[in-house]
Each structure stands twice: as structure tokens, then as C-alpha cells.
């Protein structure tokens, strides 16, 4: 029930609290899903902040009250909305740093480190030194990052980063 309600607003930034009325909480509480993922771990309330990153992906930030009777208030929802709605850049960086969802195939850990450096704008020789790589190895990682992301080079990576 919660998943269906959360995904119903796909493509828009949204913040919901479990007890905020976006699902029939009494019915939800009687499900096996609720008991397994909320009741057993002692989650008394949950707040989801969902940010669309591009046409294919959304990023979720989740806050939970655990082992308490506290519930998220309307003010908590409003605060999360104000604090997180302008952070699309963070969500894109998070996804790009893992090669998701923009990469044709997952980036290796070394390629993810290279991607973060490439986004930072440093020349490859400086990146090589920062990552303790030879310039040739750094260049090969950069080429693989570009290939997996389907861009011709640094300018294409920048355009991909800014798109959205």
C-alpha cells in the first residue's frame, strides 16, 4: 500500500509521512508487509522525501522514528520539503557516483572514483596524482566512464550532469 501510494506521484518532488493520510493507515497496519518491515523493527512512523532525478529515476531519503511513540508532524513534513526540495544536484551526484541510472552498465569502484574527480573538473594528470594512478591508467578509467555513460568526453559528461 505504501509503495503504491509513494510511486503514484512519480516525476514530482514529494514528502509523505506514514501517518500523514497518504495511505489508509489502519488497513496498512493489518498487512504482513507492515508487520515485517515496520512493526517488528519497532518503526512508529516514517517520512519519505522523494526527488525525481531524471525521467527514469527517483531518489528516496527516508527518516524513521524507531522504538518511540513519536509521529512526524505537519511541521516536520514542511521542514523536510523546504530542506530537501532543492537538492536535485545531490541526488544526481549520488546516482552518477554509482553509475546509475545513466550508465549502460555499472561502474567499477575505480570508475566511480574517477567519475567524481571528472565531475570536479580537474585535469586527468591531477586526477591521476590524487588517485595514485599513472596518467595512462587514469585516462583508461576516464575513457571507460565516458563509454559506459554514452558520452564522447568531458563536455558530454558535463552536459549529462546538467541535463535533467
98 pLDDT more than 90: no
Residues 16 and 36 in one domain: yes
Q: How many CB atoms lie within 10 A of CB 38?
A: 20
Do 48 and 101 share a domain, yes or no?
Answer: no
**Residue of 62, 49, 54, 47 lying closest to 11 (CA atoms):** 54
User: Which pLDDT belongs to residue 150?
Assistant: 85
What is the reported pTM?
0.64
Asked whether the predicted pLDDT for residue 46 surpasses 80, the reply is yes
User: Positive or negative CA dihedral for 47, 22, 3, 30?
Assistant: positive
Counting Cα atoms < 13 Å in the Cβ hemisphere of 58 gives 19
1-12 pLDDT per residue, tens: 888 888 888 989
> Residue 91: pLDDT above 90?
no
Quick check: helix, strand or coil at residue 56?
Answer: coil
Both 29 and 52 in one domain: the answer is: yes
Q: Are 8 and 80 part of one and the same domain? A: yes
User: Which value, in Å, is the radius of gyration of the alpha carbons in the chain?
Assistant: 20
Query: Cell 501517518 appears where?
Result: 19
CA distances from 140 to 25, 33, 54 (A): 53, 46, 28
Q: In the prediction, which pLDDT does 78 show?
A: 96
Instruction: Say yes or no: 10 and 81 in one domain.
Output: yes
Q: Does the structure show a pLDDT above 90 at 95?
A: no
What is the reported pLDDT for 116? Answer: 87
Q: Is the pLDDT of residue 102 over 70?
A: no
Confidence bin at 139 (pLDDT 50/70/90)? very high
More confident residue, 83 or 163: 83
Mean pLDDT of 80-84: 94
Question: What span, in angstroms and rounded, lies between the C-alpha atoms of 11 and 134?
Answer: 42
Enclosing domain of residue 41? 2-86
Contact 11, 52 (CB under 8 A): yes
Specify the CATH number for the domain of residue 120. 1.10.10.10
- What pLDDT was estimated at residue 55? 67
Which residue in this structure is represented by grid cell 545513466? 102
Model confidence band, residue 107 (pLDDT cutoffs 50, 70, 90): confident
Q: Is 145 found in the same domain as 108?
A: yes
Residues 77 and 6 occupy one common structural domain = yes
CB 51 within 8 A of CB 87: yes
Q: How many CB atoms are located within 10 Å of the residue 75 CB?
A: 8
pLDDT mean over 13-31 = 93
Domain count across the chain: 2
Amino acid at each position: 500500500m505504501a509503495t503504491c501510494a509513494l510511486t503514484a506521484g512519480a516525476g514530482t518532488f514529494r514528502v509523505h509521512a506514514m501517518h500523514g493520510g497518504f495511505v489508509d493507515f489502519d488497513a496498512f497496519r493489518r498487512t504482513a508487509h507492515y508487520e515485517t518491515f515496520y512493526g517488528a523493527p519497532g518503526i512508529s512512523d516514517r517520512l519519505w522525501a522523494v526527488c525525481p532525478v531524471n525521467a527514469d529515476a527517483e531518489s528516496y531519503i527516508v527518516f524513521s522514528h524507531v522504538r518511540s511513540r513519536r509521529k512526524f508532524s505537519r511541521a516536520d513534513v514542511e521542514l523536510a520539503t523546504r530542506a530537501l526540495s532543492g537538492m536535485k544536484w545531490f541526488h544526481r551526484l549520488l546516482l552518477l557516483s554509482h553509475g546509475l541510472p545513466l550508465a549502460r552498465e555499472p561502474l567499477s569502484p575505480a570508475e566511480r572514483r574517477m567519475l567524481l574527480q571528472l565531475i570536479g573538473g580537474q585535469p586527468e594528470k591531477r586526477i591521476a596524482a590524487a588517485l595514485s594512478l599513472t596518467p595512462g591508467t587514469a585516462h583508461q578509467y576516464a575513457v571507460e566512464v565516458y563509454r559506459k555513460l554514452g558520452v564522447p568526453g568531458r563536455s558530454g559528461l558535463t552536459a549529462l550532469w546538467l541535463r535533467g
